[in-house]
Amino acid sequence: MTIAFGIDIGGSGIKGAPVNLETGEFTDDRLRIVTPQPSTPETVADVCSQLIDHFEVPKDVPIGITFPAPIKHSTVRFIANLDQSWTGVNVTALMQERIGRRCIAVNDADAAGVAETKFGAAKNVKGLVIATTLGTGIGSALINDGTLIENSELGHLKIRGVSAEKLAAAQIRKAEKLSWDEWAQRLQEYYSYLDMLFSPDLFVVGGGVSKKHDKFLPKLELSCPIVPAELRNSAGIVGGAALAYEYFKS
């Protein structure tokens, strides 16, 4: 059994679990710790260390840490859901120093997309997969023939002059009290735009709202299938673990 460890850092909680990379399943129950406030690099790194200690992760197990921001060469470009002091921080270097382990930092949406490609709704799909996460904003991942194209940030494409996530995120549906039909019309506009720009072979839609996919996905008409994510809340941990294993294997 091949094992790696995934940590998913979010604005409200930090979650971790060991992952069997042959099946994509956790080998132990996931542990969630409330994100500290203020959520500075030091306090968040301490929580990640707690997770490692809790699971008694062996020294040789690679660790993938997913982060809610664009990560370029391990460094945070800008941040929305954690303390602003993260901007410009090399997350990989910080975590390796704090926890003393082999680890890498990756964007959370990218990790979720990789998880769906390896173990979920996009497994064995050839060509271009666009995985999106509908939540507070819109996260995205581009995977072409199994290879991740990092930091796509397609939720910030402009529609009607504003970022798409300001019109079509799941949080907007709730905030504006949109009906499923009204929201589906906005999603149609967004996914049609992505369809035109990229001509993907598959769209995968994640986020908590994907549990209710039957209320909106069947209403969308695109040139390729659009399906709900399968891994849901475990996708970040699984994808982070998988990316860490691949990175240190090479």
Residue 67 pLDDT exceeds 90 = yes
Beta bridge partners of 15: 8, 32
Residue 128: strand pairing partners = 144
In sequence order, the β-bridge partners of residue 64 are 6, 104
203 bridge partner residues:
130, 226
Euclidean distance between CA atoms 74 and 169, whole angstroms:
27
Instruction: Give CA–CA dist 104/245, Å, rounded.
Output: 10
Per-residue pLDDT for 76 more than 90?
yes
What confidence score (pLDDT) does residue 81 get? 83
Is the pLDDT at 250 greater than 80, yes or no?
no
DSSP string, the chain: --EEEEEEE-SSEEEEEEEETTTTEESS--EEEEPPSS--HHHHHHHHHHHHHHHT--TTS-EEEEESS-EETTEE---SSS-GGGTT-BHHHHHHHHH-S-EEEEEHHHHHHHHHHHHSTTTT--SEEEEEEESSSEEEEEEETTEEE----GGGSEETTEETHHHHSHHHHHHTT--HHHHHHHHHHHHHHHHHHH--SEEEEESGGGGGGGGTGGG---SS-EEE-SSGGGHHHHHHHHHHHHHHH-
List of domains in the chain: 3-110+234-249 (3.30.420.40), 124-229 (3.30.420.40)
pTM, two decimals, is: 0.93
pLDDT at 1 over 90: no
Q: Which amino acid is at 114?
A: V
Token pair of 132, please?
Answer: 């999106």
- Rounded to an integer, the average pLDDT of 49-67 is 96
Share of the chain above pLDDT 90, in %: 94
Residue 79 has pLDDT above 80, yes or no: yes
Instruction: Give the number of other Cβ atoms within 10 Å of residue 160's Cβ.
Output: 10
pLDDT tens digits, 156-213: 999 999 999 999 999 999 999 999 999 999 999 999 999 999 999 999 999 989 999 9
> Quick one: average pLDDT of 103-131?
97
Percent of the chain with pLDDT over 70: 100
The CA distance from 72 to 70, in Å, is 7
